[in-house]
Amino acid sequence: MVTPEVRSEIDTGPAPVSAAWIAPRGAVATLVVAHGAGAGMDHPFMAGFARAIAEHDVATLRFNFPYIERGRRSPDPEGVLRATWLAGFEDARSRSDGRPVLAGGKSLGGRIASMATADGMPAAGLVFLGYPFHPPGKPERVRDDHLYRIAVPMLFIQGTADPFAKPEVVRKVLRKLGRAAEHVPIEGGDHSFNVRGRKRDAREVGETLAGLAVPFVLRVAGAG
């Protein structure tokens, strides 16, 4: 039986944002997943990931950042993104009946989750779907300082051809993080996890990544 998706709104202060909640019966954990900079929570990648991971007893909450809700292309200021993440996390926690609540997301969404967690958001673990380690073409500008303040397990699913994540940069950061971080490389994958010569739609890509994230999520939740 397919678990229904429940639509709602989250009060972020200035204005509400849309959210989608999927909670399979017997869920052992909740994962809050935020979208990347270029597309909202209903992008097939995000929807495919959430639907697929629900089949493994993991509830999910997706939400839009305000700029997507308003139909804009440029991301909100960092303070707005953080406040929205905190509101989304609290909404998920209120629905989770004491289950562990993890956080993460695609690129920008995952990065903001990590910043919020470094500053006290009580996520049980973090799942990054293409963490943006640095701007494209600027591997010297590594966005990693706050990662070393995070005290919960982290999973980095990264394409090896991602222009936001040069392999040598990823290796260096992971060495410094040590046992706190797990890494799943997608050979030849770009920032959207597309591999040259292999045509797959975004929903299928999201579904595949969900399968890769499941063992980590269940282990963090004490169910794997």
Give one word for 108, left, alpha or beta, with left for phi > 0 and alpha for psi -120 to 50.
alpha
CATH number for the domain that contains residue 136: 3.40.50.1820
CA 206 → CA 43, 46, 106, 162, distances in Å?
Answer: 10, 6, 10, 16
Tens of pLDDT along 157-192? 999 999 999 999 999 999 999 999 999 999 999 999
Range of the domain at 135: 5-220
Tens of pLDDT along 57-106? 999 999 999 999 999 999 999 999 999 999 999 999 999 999 999 999 99
Whether the full predicted model's pTM is greater than 0.85, yes or no, is yes
Q: Count how many domains the chain has.
A: 1
Rounded-to-integer distance, Cα 60 and Cα 57, Å: 10
Residue 223 has pLDDT above 90, yes or no: no
Tell me what pLDDT residue 3 has: 85
